[in-house]
Structure 1
Amino acid sequence: MKRKNCGLAVFFFFFPALLLAQNLYQVTVAAGDYDREDCPVFIPVSLPDNGTVSAYWHLYEKTHKGFIPVLCQQDHSPASGIWFILSGTTPRHTRRTFLLKRETAKTADTAIMKIQKTFSSYVLERGSQKILNYRFRIMAPPDGADPLCQKSGYIHPLWSPSGEVLTRIQPPDHPHHYGIWGPWTKTHINGREVDFWNLGKGQGTVRYAGLLSLEEGPVFCALRVHQKHIDFGTNGPDRIAINEILEMRAWNVGPQAWLVDYTSTQNCPLPSGILLEAYRYGGGLGFRATGHWNNKNSSVLTSEGKTRQDADGSKARWCRITGTMPSGENGILFMDHPENRDFPEPMRVWPGNANNGRGDLFFEFCPIRHKSWTIKKGKEYTLKYRMFIFHGKISREEAERLWNDFAHPPVVETEKIK
């Protein structure tokens, strides 16, 4: 799959005065052992408090033609620094040099990556194109389904760049399935089982609990929310078993594909902690695919060469899922991060004869598939995933390059110029 340049640099300038300015850094980006293409890059610099900012960061790439302005964006999450897209192709073992400068002039409003709030959801967008919808309001169960199957705190729809909806919620066979979501299944609190996945049991659920932050800009948009994993089985009022901070971040890599990071940080407030029992599904990142996909028009390929017939229970760094839609072929590349628990993570993949031979498609990175996990009180646990959503096809080689960008990003060196 070929993608056009992101358009992050549009004019050439010669700035000899840059070298004499204060608050100026030289930034060197090394591709390392991997080819790069339209790759998010983080520059770790100390940023002043937002309330006292009187200057703005500007980034310029140093080329043989002069300095090219490059769109960049401050990160207002717990990380401190600047993000930009290393646009175009950067071959392995090569370096690119930039100048990062604080200036009093603010650039024109280029916040192409935006978040719209509706009555029920936050919608991440690139320009006029919708990327994903995060539902914060309770969705009632479908007619005839168990009232316990109502839920908030999930992604649906997830759109492809061609506008196709790739997710599904509340299918008749599994009314507790919700697009992209990740509740735990077999958990134990003081020896008592609590199931947050199978809502019909009435033991627990995961719900939206509040907005933490919202960021927009030329490089990314990011939504950070608080989700509560609620235990219904206590003597007395319901209680929180797990607090989760979920961040969904969409990168501006152009209109031909979406690049979305899905990061979950969880902690348990209970003195006893919570045991996540080894089970074939639960937690991590789950995906219930569109009802258009079945065993005749969809496919699965993992980094280890497994297909839909033998991927279930195996481990992989990435999994490519594709299927035919009215607009043609669309797909998602799901990527696992080396820092995740039990990396490369085991997966739950429905085989081709799933659901009485219909071949509906379900995928999940499942960090407790083979090993139980104890979440202790007061300790934070983070799981990082990335999704590349595309129209058309991507090769195995492209999937490897995309995963390397996520797992082994370019090395950045900064030097303050006095």
Structure 2
Amino acid sequence: MKRSLVFVAACLSLALAVTAQKTQLLHFYVEAGAYQRINTPVCINLEGLNKSDTLSYQLFEKIKGQLKEKPFQVETGYVPLLWWILDGTTNAGQKREFFLYSAAPVTKSNTITTELTADNIVLKIGNSEILNYRKSVLYPPAGVDSAYKRSGFIHPLYSPSGNILTRISPRDHYHHFGIWNPWTKVRIGNHETDFWNIGSKQGTVRFSGINSVIDGPVYGGFIVKQDHIDFQGNKPEEIAINELWDVRTWNMEPVTGLKAYIVDLTTFLSVAGTEPIVFVAYRYAGGIGFRATGEWNNKNSTVLTSEGLARKDADGSRARWVDINGEFRDKGNSGITFFSHPSNREYPEPMRVWPENQNGVGDVYFEFCPTRHKDWELHPGNLYRLKYRMLVYDGKIDKATAERLWNDFAYPPVVNISKK
């Protein structure tokens, strides 16, 4: 009996100690605004919060008078952000109430993970691969000029069911690499270098290091460095452009009832030298490029832009989003919807879409191209950003779904901190 009382007293003392450590830090509301939200990422700025290094956070939503704990993840940086998924459906005009507490640290399972291999960074959700980012140099097929070797691209990109959506080093364009974004006509001093058509041996792009890899319950991904190497400068090789890729995917169900996930790709550019450089207007350049699987052609694939244009009319037009969908033999349909952020240069962003008879069969290529119609001058000492999101899915989506997801990306829910 005495032992039981001692055990109960010890448990009570421990519970009181843990409770004493929990302090309310923030009381806030998340407002859907003008748009319906379904399972969308949300963040709150943690700048200015006082918190001991020995403590963590607990996030709760108040639902019908009860506090329900929510998974979250802190993104450290110049301004720390706390991310979570605003789960379920939040109708336009609706607001939801949250509390943030300090608490003793707890171990959380990471649903989104990264794995480093000799060649790749592998991004996974659970045990399933989402994409591979290529770190090591990939050489072209045997007998092809080694000038076509490259690193720093995404391939394969998988649909949720495992269909491979990307293609690399095809015979018609050995310089195509899944999802990638080199610049074609770049004026550097008194010469022009092509980083896209690497067979010209004027320049290339190389993976040059990992800044970070991130595993987490809410999102996971990596930040990598890429160098744009100029072969026509004063030295055999000179770095002309510094680039960072921030790639992340979210632990969420973006479309109810559909197998899908979200991948964000944000690229940061800066001039490596002391003089401005110019991205000269051209139909291919930078942004985000996608060479689709060789299984797709003009008979089994479709293109639809936010402005309602199909493949035959889309090239050179502008859009907020573009959906590309195709059929895999005996495996149904899969697709990617590309979203361009309103902060991107030349938004709504111009695009390059291959004609319906490309290579005689209608091979599929798409690119958001911010310099399609106008030059872009970059100055030393400045940092430039282009921000994209991809919905990767099996089956098909409709225009209303694409619009809802673009609204989440462009105009996310608003967080308002209670001053009471």
TM-score where L is the length of structure 1 = 0.92
Q: Choose the corresponding residue for 2:320, options 317, 320, 327.
A: 317
The 5 Å alignment of 1:33-112 reads 33-46=34-47, 53-64=53-64, 66-106=66-106, 108-112=107-111
More deviation, 19-28/151-160: 19-28
Q: Does 1:414 align with 2:413?
A: no
Runs (4+) off by over 6 Å: 17-20, 47-50
Partner of 1:343: 347
8 Å CA contact 2:221–2:247 kept in 1: the answer is yes
CA distance in 1, matches of 2:111, 2:240: 38
Contact 2:112–2:218 (CA<8 Å) still a contact in 1? yes
**Alignment match of 1:404 (pick from 402, 407, 418):** 407
Deviation at 1:258, TM superposition (A): 1.2
Inter-partner Cα distance in structure 1 for 2:141 and 2:53? 49
* Deviates most, 369-378 or 265-274: 265-274
Q: Does the Cα contact within 8 Å between 1:47 and 1:81 map onto a contact in 2?
A: no
The whole-number CA distance in structure 1 between the counterparts of 2:37 and 2:19 is 28
Cα drift, residue 81 of structure 1: 1.4
CA distance in 2 between partners of 1:415 and 1:286 (Å): 43
Q: Answer yes or no: is 1:217 the counterpart of 2:216.
A: yes
Output the TM-score relative to the length of structure 2: 0.91
1:262 lines up with 2:261 in the alignment: no
| Match of residue 23 from structure 2 | 22
Q: Name the CA shift for 1:338/1:243 in 2 (closer, same or farther; >3 Å).
A: same
Please give the per-residue CA displacement for 1:333-367, whole angstroms capped at 9, x wherever unaligned: 10000000000100000121111x21000000000
How far does residue 68 in structure 1 lie from its aligned partner after superposition?
1.1
Give 1:345-360 correspondences, 5 Å limit: 345-355=349-359, 357-360=360-363
CA distance in 2, matches of 1:148, 1:82: 44
Task: Tell whether 2:168 aligns with 1:164.
Answer: no
Code of the aligned partner of 1:284: G
> 2:112 maps to what in 1?
113
Give the Cα–Cα distance (whole angstroms) in 1 for the partners of residues 79 and 40 of structure 2: 18
Q: Which residue of 1 aligns with 2:15?
A: none
Matches within 5 A, 1:147-158: 147-158=146-157
Deviation at 1:102, TM superposition (A): 1.4
SS of 2:377's partner is strand
Q: Is the 8 A contact 2:57 2:105 kept in 1?
A: no
Number of residue-to-residue matches in the alignment = 398
CA distance in 1, matches of 2:240, 2:315: 29
Q: CA deviation at 1:330?
A: 0.4
Q: 5+ unaligned residues in a row in structure 1: which ranges?
A: 1-16
Say whether 1:381 aligns with 2:398.
no
Residues 196-245 of structure 1 show CA distances to partners (whole Å, capped at 9, x for unaligned) of 00000001011101000111110000200111001011232311100001
2:33 aligned with 1:32, yes or no?
Answer: yes
- Letter paired with 1:321: I
Q: Which has the larger Rg?
A: 2
Q: Which runs of 5+ in 2 are unaligned?
A: 1-17
Q: CA RMSD in A?
A: 1.9
Contact 2:54–2:105, Cα closer than 8 Å, also in 1? no
Determine what percentage of the aligned residue pairs are the same residue. Answer: 47
Measured at CA, do residues 49 and 283 of structure 1 come closer, stay the same or move farther in structure 2, by a change above 3 Å?
Answer: farther
More helix by share: 2
Aligned partner letter, 2:133: Y
